[in-house]
Chains A and B, each alone.
Chain A
Amino acid sequence: MILVLEKRSRRSQAMVWLSPVLALGITVVIGGFIFASLGLDPFKALYIYFIDPMTSLWSIEELIVKAAPLVMIGVGLAICYTANVWNIGAEGQLTMGALFGSAIPIYFTDWQSPLVLVLMLVLGAIGGALFAAIPALLKNRFGANEILTSLMLVYVAQLILDWVIRGPWKDPKGFNFPQSVSFEGWQLLPLLGEGRVHLGAVLALIAAVLLWVMMGRSLRGFEIRVIGNSPRAGAFAGFAQKKVVLFCFMLSGALAGLAGICEVAGPSGQLQPVISPGYGFTAIIVAFLGRLNPIGVIFAGILLAISYLGGEAAQVELGISDKMAQVFQGMLLFLILACETLIHYRIKLAPGRGAVKEA
């Protein structure tokens, strides 16, 4: 007997939502084995990793702080991937957004007005969108593979950040540390409640709902889905693929840029050499775990935020490397993609293969 994949006559609606859950389950089981092989009690380790972060108010707030950028970037990427446009460079667009938005408080350090915050957010989105337009234009004009160009531009953005932070934008009173001036007053996002949760969480939710409506109801969303599914049918419908490529890149870039300036004007409060712990890359997993559905992305964002917090907790309490978080994230993405096979195929036991048999 061997296991075979048999094509389903129609895609399984149940598996559409079950497959990410299944992937998550397998990830946890494999994680348990990894912990056991490190000589830890797997149940305790998994508890610390996945459950503990949700048991105190402080950690729930921290969860929201980390989930906000993941959701904000993830919904944009979900739209991109729906259109079959592969923006892998959200991390770079996030960095560019942070740079653009920070220009205001750095050049107009004493300017205090609500307008400052609005300008910072708008500039952040514009910075991300413009930076994302580069791979889109290269793809449309020269057929350059956007996976490569958008990914490589991440390093360009990070090197630009590194340069300004050690050069022209370095805080003159900062004892030569590579950081900008600290933002004050209207240069910072208002906090929600006592903790660190800031306006970015609300913006992320609004973005998810708006994009959900766009994808489900509007002609623009329809256009994106058609182009992603069947470009030839899209041309027949009168939709221009190149415009969709540019739109999706700039939209996801704007959201990544917004997430970038929210990080700077939120938790960190100044420009530093490292803005995000890889939110732009983790958001790729968020988009897929959310099944490219903006509402699904909200839940996926929260889940991946747990893996960040769990990684920190495991480092403190179990003394293992925080790289464990990346191991979990990588495994999760791998298993999500693998489990998607079950939407179109079912696993079946079949008799072993043989040549023509005589009966």
Chain B
Amino acid sequence: MNETGANETSKYLLEARNITKVFGELRANDDVTLSLKPGEIHALLGENGAGKSTLVKIIYGSLRATSGHLFWRGRAVTVPNPAAARELGIGMVFQHFSLFDALTVTQNISLALPSDVDIGALSGRIETVSNDYGLPLRPDALVADLSVGERQRIEIVRCLLQEPRLLIMDEPTAVLTPQEADQLFVTLARLASEGCGVLYISHRLEEVRRICHDATILRHGKLAARVDPQQETAASLAALMVGTEVAAVRTDKGTAPGAPLLELSGLSLATDDQFGVSLKNINLAVRAGEIVAVAGVAGNGQGEFFDALSGELTSSNNATVKIAGVGCGREGITQRRRRDAAFVPEERLGHGAVPNFPLSENVVLTHHSVEATRLETGDGMAGSAVVRNGMIDRDAARYVNRVVTELFDVRKGTPDPEAQSLSGGNLQKFVVGREMALQPRVLVVNQPTWGVDAGAAALIRQALIDLARGGSAVLVISQDLDEIFEVADRIAVISRGEMSQAYPSEELSLERIGLLMAGAHEAVARNAGEAGAA
């Protein structure tokens, strides 16, 4: 490496000056400038669709700017591809991991390295680096056996092995327990103290305030502000991102909950997927008027749990799942919908919606076998059933789309665009709103605000609360503890396919939930017992 040639006039490690990126008519980045010093943890904030990913992709070489310049340690550079970025010393940890489940940690890491790397020596280096930075990893462990937090460590170690000067992290804590997140912050602080710059993308404003030294905020592709996050509050950061004040969610406690509308008793489900999680003897009741949240680290059976509730996976015993008192464990998702239940899966694209279908056709996806929508706009038009006699009524579907997008503030360029053309937050508002349009008595939501901007998240959470206060039973599966404490009346924790009992949310502290997430049921139960006795 040639260290001497650089004219170290610049105090910045990386400068992106006046970056503009145009896609068709859309200006994803419009004259954006970002600069970052060595040893600095720099937050990149913005709503979904604000242009964060575009900017990061330009820095990492997966996209080329339409205009503007990149300066690396004071010198103008072009970064034609990610390999060139890595050559400069830029590493990136993506939100979605690219790991092979059936390979070991070492094998996965070796795939990303030049082919002449000695695999034997690699295990040793992985162990050294991971221990040095407080990211313990067993090099010979199979990725399938690791938790999401551990998988993320692989990605980080993979970057660290290349001794980066700049590490880009895209929403790293979204998948971690509070304890794991704390551990990650220690690692990042250590890296920063060694002079490595960190570009940190996150929606969690509290943690940005805690660990970041500087923040660049984007809004609608433009630079909205450059602030010191430690001088700001989470609310003021959110206001800068959205452009207006974000309404706080109203969480007035409703009347006492009514009869149980969703009951699970002894729900067990063996998985046939090699890397799936089996559900073990889950008992839970959600009553009319309340929101019960299921907390847990990703990959502890949430997906299987959702599928078992929705009927995408059926049980052999009808009594394991009861909706409004009627056993329906053997019924599929359509029959459960006819029992006035609605479901919002975690994956918006490809599960909750067909990516290349227009929104109105995505309405048909979940409305085809149920009565007409019960939501109405002010124009006095009543909805009619979307499917009659096996034929689709396109006008009825378009009507539902119009009502939903209006009530849930879904922003879109054309009246009926393809689902994949919406930003994550807007699509999520559509998917949640589509189910709300049915005014379900039971709603099961998996990750309601995953990867969604603050404005959309507040709107979605408010809708969940309003639905519950209106007398429906709402079950929220989430990895976001802030969200859980914001909306939930009671909280249960899922860990390795087992579910704790549901505790009233005011009785649970972050620490206790963290322990439950890690699977220490007994310890917490004992603590709770002692606390109750004291």
Residues A359 and B78 in contact in the complex (CB < 8 Å), given A219-B368, A222-B368: yes
Interface string of A141-170 (1 = CB under 8 A from B): 000000000000000000000000000000
Judge whether A236 and B391 touch: CB under 8 Å: no
Q: Which residues of B contact A354 (CB under 8 A)?
A: 80
B361 at the A interface (CB under 8 A): yes
The reply on B334 being an interface residue by CB < 8 A is yes
- Nearest CB on B from A231, distance (A): 9
Name which residue of chain A comes closest to B386, CB basis.
Answer: A219
CB proximity of B375 to chain A, nearest CB, Å: 20
- Sample of 14 A–B contacts (CB below 8 Å): A11-B356, A219-B390, A222-B368, A226-B357, A229-B355, A232-B350, A233-B354, A233-B365, A237-B333, A238-B311, A238-B332, A356-B84, A357-B80, A359-B78
Inter-chain CA distance A218–B390, complex, in Å, is: 6
Q: Once the chains bind, are B75 and A358 in contact (CB under 8 Å)?
A: yes
Identify B88's interface contact among A218, A233, A356, CB under 8 A.
Answer: A356
Per-position binary interface string of chain A over residues 249-271, scored 1 when its CB falls under 8 Å from any chain B CB and 0 otherwise:
00000000000000000000000
Q: How would residues 221 to 257 of chain A score, 1 for a CB under 8 Å from any chain B CB and 0 otherwise?
A: 0100110011011011110000000000000000000
Are B343 and A9 touching (Cβ within 8 A)?
A: no
- Residues A233 and B364 in contact, CB atoms below 8 Å apart: no
The reply on A10 being an interface residue by CB < 8 A is yes
Q: Does chain A have a CB within 8 A of B520?
A: no
A10-B421, A237-B368, A353-B80 known; 12 other A-B pairs, CB under 8 Å? A10-B418, A219-B364, A222-B361, A222-B392, A229-B355, A230-B354, A233-B352, A233-B353, A236-B345, A238-B368, A355-B80, A357-B78
Decide yes or no whether A173 CB sits under 8 A from chain B: no
Q: Measuring CB to CB, which residues of chain A are less than 8 angstroms from any residue of chain B?
A: 9-11, 217-220, 222, 225-226, 229-230, 232-233, 235-238, 353-359
Is B23's CB under 8 angstroms from A230's CB? no
A354 and B84 CA atoms in complex are apart in Å by 9
Whether A358 touches B77, Cβ cut-off 8 Å, given contacts A232-B351, A233-B352, A236-B352, is yes
Q: Is B366 part of the binding interface, using a Cβ–Cβ cutoff of 8 Å?
A: yes
* A355 CB, min distance to chain B CBs, angstroms: 6
Assuming the A-B contacts A230-B354, A233-B350, are A238 and B392 also in contact, with contact meaning beta carbons closer than 8 angstroms in the complex? no
Look across to chain B and name the residue whose beta carbon is closest to the beta carbon of A356: B84
Q: Considering only CB atoms, which chain A residue lies closest to B420 in the complex? A: A10
| Size of the chain B interface, CB-CB below 8 angstroms | 44
Partner of A236, one of B76, B80, B351: B351
0/1 per residue, B121-159, Cβ < 8 Å to A?
A: 000000000000000000000000000000000000000
Within 8 Å CB of B69, what residues of A?
359
Q: Does B337 contact A (CB under 8 A)?
A: yes
Complex Cα distance, B392 from A218, in Å, reads: 5
State in angstroms the CA–CA spacing of A355 and B86 once bound together: 11
In the complex, which residues of chain B have a beta carbon less than 8 angstroms from the beta carbon of A358?
75-77
Evaluate whether A226 and B418 lie within 8 angstroms (CB atoms) in the complex, with A9-B23, A237-B365 already known: no
Q: From residue B322, how far is it (CB to closest CB) to chain A in Å?
A: 19
Tell whether, in the assembled complex, residue A236 and residue B87 are in contact, meaning their CB atoms are under 8 Å apart.
Answer: no
A residues in contact with B332, CB < 8 Å: 238
Pairwise interchain contact B87-A238, C-beta atoms closer than 8 A: no
CA distance A145 to B371 in the complex (A): 39
Question: In the assembled complex, how far is the CB of residue A194 from the closest CB belonging to chain B, in whole angstroms?
Answer: 41
Q: B333 and A236: CB pair below 8 A?
A: yes
Report chain B residues within 8 Å CB of A222: 361, 364, 368, 392
Any chain A CB within 8 A of the CB of B529?
A: no
A9 to B27, CA, bound (A): 12
A238 touches B350 (CB 8 A): no
Q: How far is the CA of A219 from the CA of B370 in the complex (A)?
A: 13
Whether A356 lies near B392 (C-beta < 8 A) is no
**Residue B24 at the chain A interface, CB threshold 8 Å:** yes
Residues in B with CB closer than 8 Å to A356 are 77-80, 84, 87-88
Structural contact, B334 and A217, CB atoms closer than 8 A: no
B205 interfacial by beta-carbon distance below 8 Å: no
Given A9-B23, A222-B361, A354-B80 in contact, is the A238-B353 Cβ separation under 8 Å?
A: no
Please, which residues of chain B bring their CB within 8 A of the CB of A238? 311, 332-334, 337, 368-369
Answer yes or no: B112 CB below 8 A from chain A CBs: no
Q: Across the two chains, which residue of chain A brings its CB closest to B84?
A: A356
A9-B23, A355-B87 are contacts. A230–B355 as well, Cβ < 8 Å? Answer: yes
Give Cα distance in the complex from A358 to B7, angstroms.
13
B334-359 CB contact bits vs A (8 Å, 1 = yes)? 10010000010101001111111100
Inter-subunit contact A359/B353 (CB<8 Å)? no
Asked if B76 contacts A359 (CB within 8 A), the reply is yes
Nearest-neighbour CB distance to chain B for A191, whole angstroms, equals 36
Q: How far is the CA of A10 from the CA of B24 in the complex (A)?
A: 9
Q: Is B310 positioned at the interface, with any CB of A under 8 Å from its CB?
A: yes
Q: How far is the CB of B2 from chain A (nearest CB, A)?
A: 12
Q: Does B1 lie at the interface of the complex (its beta carbon under 8 Å from any beta carbon of A)?
A: no
Chain A to chain B: the 8 pairs with minimum beta-carbon distance, closest first: A238-B334, A359-B76, A356-B84, A237-B365, A238-B333, A9-B23, A230-B354, A232-B351
B117 at the A/B interface (Cβ < 8 Å)? Answer: no
- Whether B343 and A236, one on each chain, are in contact in the complex, defined by CB atoms closer than 8 angstroms, is yes
**Do A229 and B354 touch (CB < 8 A)?**
yes
Residues of the A chain whose Cβ atoms lie less than 8 Å from the Cβ of B337: 238
In the complex, residue of chain B having the shortest beta-carbon distance to the beta carbon of A237: B365
Q: In the complex, A271→B195 CA distance in Å?
A: 84
For A228, the closest partner residue in chain B by CB is B354
- B24: contacting residue among A9, A232, A355, CB under 8 A: A9
With both beta carbons as reference points, the residue of chain B lying nearest to A235 in the complex is identified as B312
Contacts of B353 on A, CB cut-off 8 Å?
Answer: 233
**Which residues on B sit within 8 Å (CB–CB) of A217?**
391-392
Chain A residues closer than 8 Å to B531, beta-carbon distance: none
CB of B518 within 8 Å of the partner chain: no
- Considering the complex, give the chain B residue whose CB is closest to the CB of A223: B368
| List of A residues within 8 angstroms of B84 by Cβ | 355-356
Interface string of B253-266 (1 = CB under 8 A from A): 00000000000000
Contact indicator A232/B347 (Cβ below 8 Å): yes
The B237-275 residues at the A interface (CB cut-off 8 A) are none
- Tell me, in angstroms, the Cα distance from A11 to B88 when the chains sit together: 35
A215 to B: closest C-beta gap in Å: 11
Q: How far is the CB of A88 from chain B (nearest CB, A)?
A: 25
Partner of B366, one of A229, A232, A236: A236
Chain B contacts for A225, CB-based, 8 A: 357
